[in-house]
């Protein structure tokens, strides 16, 4: 069994690294590499194949029988331009890296793919990197969470930045409303612009406290969940939050006036 280091992975995936940070590539690789045999990985938003290649390499190196389902209409996006066919570049990427056998392509929008998803087929890892607008991200979480196994992991790309001021505010708003504000997920973590968590049915008081700490870290853009200076996270976050809410109230009052 051959497991790559972060630097080795970065060198092997030279052509896809511009779409993923080095640490994000290694997170995807490590997550899939250590998954049980016969795992189902669902990728929403495949673009030119960067993340699919990394996860395919992890399956190949682990010598396990797992499968990636890549869901994407391959028609571009609001970030990179619409009506741009990226399917040929995706095919080239997975074939050049010899991982095509681990990937099933579903050339459809996420909502359509969900409606046609094989009933009863459960998902072990849900990787969300499709449309970054709130309506798309929130729908992806709500729909596909119903097929995610308890104990399975969900990860969302481009979730960095302070709430309301990040580049992809739609992603952050969806995470806040459909993950942090519900008790469906625990064991949150952050890798560069990735936010990930584990699906759960129940949550202990200790796990809830860890989730709240993770939320405030995420909210103010801090990724260090191991810090013991809890007050240094909570107090600034609450102060910033109060100022933002007061600013919103002022703007609403000004508009009504």
- CATH code, domain carrying 133: 3.40.50.150
Structural domain for 190, as ranges = 6-227
Residues lower than pLDDT 70 in the chain? 1-18, 76-83, 119, 161-168, 221-254, 256-257
Task: Return the ∠ at Cα 211 (arms to 207 and 214), rounded to 5°.
Answer: 140
Check: CB of residue 68 under 8 Å from CB of residue 102: yes
Is residue 189 classed as helix, strand or coil in its secondary structure? strand
Nearest to 78 by CA among 187, 204, 7, 170: 170
Burial of residue 176, with CB atoms counted within 10 A of its CB: 0-12 exposed, 13-18 middle, 19 or more buried: middle
In a domain, 98, yes or no: yes
Is residue 35 classed as helix, strand or coil in its secondary structure? coil
The pLDDT tens digits of the residues spanning 104-119 come to: 999 999 999 999 998 6
In a domain, 184, yes or no: yes
In a domain, 254, yes or no: no
Q: Both tokens of residue 151?
A: 């104990």
Domain tally for the chain? 1
The pLDDT tens digits of the residues spanning 121-156 come to: 899 999 999 988 999 999 999 999 999 999 999 999
In a domain, 248, yes or no: no
In a domain, 95, yes or no: yes
CA 119/CA 117 separation, integer angstroms: 6
In a domain, 160, yes or no: yes
In a domain, 87, yes or no: yes
In a domain, 234, yes or no: no
Taking the mean position of all CA atoms in its chain, how far away is CA 7?
22
Total-model pTM: 0.84
């Amino acid at each position: 069994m051959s497991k790559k280091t972060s630097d080795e992975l970065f060198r092997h995936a030279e052509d896809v690294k511009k779409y993923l940070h080095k640490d994000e590539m290694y997170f995807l690789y490590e997550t899939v590499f250590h998954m049980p045999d016969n795992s189902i990985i669902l990728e929403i938003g495949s673009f030119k194949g960067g993340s699919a290649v990394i996860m395919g390499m992890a399956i190949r190196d682990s010598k396990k029988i797992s499968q990636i389902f890549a869901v994407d209409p391959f028609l571009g996006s609001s970030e990179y331009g619409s009506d741009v066919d990226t399917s040929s570049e995706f095919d080239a990427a997975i074939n050049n890296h010899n991982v095509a056998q681990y990937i099933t392509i579903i050339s459809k929008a996420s909502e359509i793919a969900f409606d046609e998803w094989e009933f009863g087929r459960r998902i072990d890892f849900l990787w969300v990197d499709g449309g970054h607008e709130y309506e798309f991200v929130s729908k992806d979480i709500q729909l596909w969470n119903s097929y995610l196994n308890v104990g399975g992991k969900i990860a969302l790309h481009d979730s960095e930045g302070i709430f309301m001021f990040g580049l992809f505010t739609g992603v952050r708003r969806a995470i806040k409303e459909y993950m942090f504000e519900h008790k469906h997920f625990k064991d949150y973590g952050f890798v560069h612009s990735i936010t990930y968590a584990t699906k759960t049915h129940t949550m202990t008081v200790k796990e809830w406290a860890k989730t709240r700490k993770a939320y405030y870290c995420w909210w103010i853009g801090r990724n260090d969940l191991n810090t013991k200076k809890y007050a240094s996270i909570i107090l600034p976050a609450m102060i910033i939050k109060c100022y933002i809410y007061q600013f919103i109230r002022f703007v609403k009052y000004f508009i009504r006036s």
